[in-house]
Structure formats: C-alpha cells, structure tokens
C-alpha cells in the first residue's frame, strides 16, 4: 500500500476541522434567512431565459396549496359562475358564456406569502368589470366576496382593489386552459397581492357592502395582502 508514513493519532489528534465545517454551514444557513431571498431573486432573474427553455424547478416553481382533502373537479357542462349578493337580479355564467366575454391577457409575477415566486406567468381571462356588467349592483356595494369550490375557502377584495388594471379572472395559464391544480376553470389573479388572495376554483362572486375576513385572514393573515408590505414583510 502506498501513501503517507506519518503516524498520527486517530482519535482527537488532528486539527478540529469537523466542528468548523458544522458551524460554518449552520451559521451560513441561518444567516440566509436574511439574504437568501434577494440572492435567489437575482439568480432566478439571471437564469430565467434558460429556465424558459430548460425548466430547472419542478413545474416552473409552482407549488400546489390546498386547504381541503381533494382538489375540486371541473365539468364544463355543469360549471357555473354565480353572481349574487347585493344585485338587482342574480345571474350565472356557464363556461361558454364566460369564454365569450372580451378576453384579456397579461404577463405578471406570482408571489406566495411563504416566500416562493413565479415570474413571467402568462394569464388569459376576463376583467372583473366585464363580468360584473352582467348584473346591476346596489348602490351600497363596496366589496366582492370570491367563493371557491374548495370549501370553506373564500376571500374578499374591495371594489377599488378589484379595479386595479391587472386584476383578472383567469381561465388560461401559459396559453392553456387552467389546469385542475391551478384552479380550473377560473381563478382570481391579483399580482400585487400574495397568492392566498388569488382564489382558485371560483364558483361564485358576491357583491357585498363591506369586506369580511377570508379563509386565511381568519387564521391571522393580513386582509390587504400587498406583496412586500404585509404579513410581516417590509415592516
């Protein structure tokens, strides 16, 4: 056998390097709680041209969060979007009527409150005003309640928030009909707010006089989920 002939004690004799590796890794990892997101944001921006050709993250960085036991299904023949609440005459749109409304598209960034982000998401759908034009709201309406087929998930936006130019009721994602995992057939998209306000599997929009606490707000999340300015971020 070749190799060194230097006899060195095996136990505890050499330099104490193992603890250094342990401490450096632990401290480096803990400190990343403060710098990780900004570094990763720079890296992901740099690799986004590559990412569009070769996906480096599973499903382009999306995670599928649900609050109940199973994902709601979608049957185009029975699905309806109910428009109800403080309106002259409640209405319901079926899938074909929904697709017949003026189509809007946008590319926006999706932020989850847990810290992950998906850039350059191409959405297709309808603006809320075009949907609300189907009913005559009462004068006291100040907010909208978005009800998911995933019980008991719901959330609210004020009319002002719902009127932001990039708020969309999306039925397409990256050029394809919204998949079941992403909320088929229709979800709310409000890029300026964290994902929990972007209600999936929409089946009902209620016009109401005031906002109440939605599903996550009742569990302590902020009512106004502005990205970077709510839920403990940016404060």
Partner 1 sequence: MTRYVRRFSRTERALHWANALGFFTLLGSGLVLYLPSLAVLVGRRPVVKDVHFWSGIGWIALLTLVALGGDRRGLLRTARELDSFDRDDARWLLGRHAPQGRFNAGQKLNAALTAAFTVLFLVSGLLLWLGERDTRFRFASTVLLHDGLMDAALVLLVGHLYLAVIHPATRHALRGITAGTVREDWARRHHAKWKPE
Residues of this chain that bind partner 1 (CB under 8 A)? 1-4, 6-8, 10-19, 21-23, 25-26, 29-30, 32-37, 40, 58-59, 62-71, 113-116, 180-181, 219-220, 231-233
Token pair belonging to 160: 């002002």
Residues sharing a CB contact under 8 Å with residue 107, sequence separation 6 or more, in sequence order? 120, 121, 122, 123
The CB-of-159 to partner 1 minimum distance in angstroms stands at 27
Q: Which is nearer to partner 1, 104 or 116 (CB)?
A: 116
Question: Which two structure tokens, joined as six digits, stand for 121?
Answer: 């998401």
Smaller CB distance to partner 1: residue 93 or 230?
Answer: 230
Determine the Cα–Cα distance for residues 171 and 59; give it in Å rounded to an integer.
18
Q: Tell the smallest beta-carbon distance from residue 45 to partner 1 (Å).
A: 15
CB of 78 to partner 1, least distance (A): 21
Minimum distance of partner 1 from residue 127's CB (angstroms): 28
* Consecutive H or E run containing 27: helix 18-53
Interatomic CA distance for residues 84 and 62, integer angstroms: 32
The continuous run of DSSP H or E covering 52 comes out as helix 18-53
- Judged by beta carbon, residue 57 or residue 133, the one nearer partner 1 is 57
Minimum CB distance to partner 1 smaller for 21 or for 53: 21
């Amino acid at each position: 056998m070749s190799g060194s002939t230097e006899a060195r004690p095996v136990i505890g004799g050499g330099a104490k390097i193992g603890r250094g590796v342990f401490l450096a890794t632990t401290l480096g990892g803990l400190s990343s709680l403060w710098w990780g997101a900004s570094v990763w944001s720079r890296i992901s921006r740099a690799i986004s041209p590559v990412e569009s050709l070769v996906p480096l993250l599973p499903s382009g960085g999306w995670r599928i969060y649900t609050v109940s036991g199973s994902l709601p299904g979608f049957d185009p023949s029975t699905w309806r979007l109910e428009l109800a609440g403080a309106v002259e005459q409640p209405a319901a749109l079926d899938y074909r009527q929904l697709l017949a409304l003026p189509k809007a598209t946008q590319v926006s960034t999706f932020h989850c409150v847990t810290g992950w982000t998906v850039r350059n998401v191409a959405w297709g759908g309808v603006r809320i005003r075009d949907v609300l034009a189907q009913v005559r709201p009462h004068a006291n309406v100040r907010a909208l309640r978005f009800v998911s087929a995933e019980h008991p998930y719901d959330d609210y936006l004020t009319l002002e928030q719902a009127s932001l130019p990039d708020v969309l009721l999306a039925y397409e994602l990256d050029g394809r009909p919204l998949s079941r995992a992403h909320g088929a057939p229709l979800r709310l998209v409000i890029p300026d707010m964290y994902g929990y306000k972007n209600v999936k599997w929409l089946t009902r929009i209620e016009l109401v006089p005031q906002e109440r606490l939605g599903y996550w707000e009742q569990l302590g999340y902020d009512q106004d989920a502005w990205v970077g300015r709510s839920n403990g971020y940016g404060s």
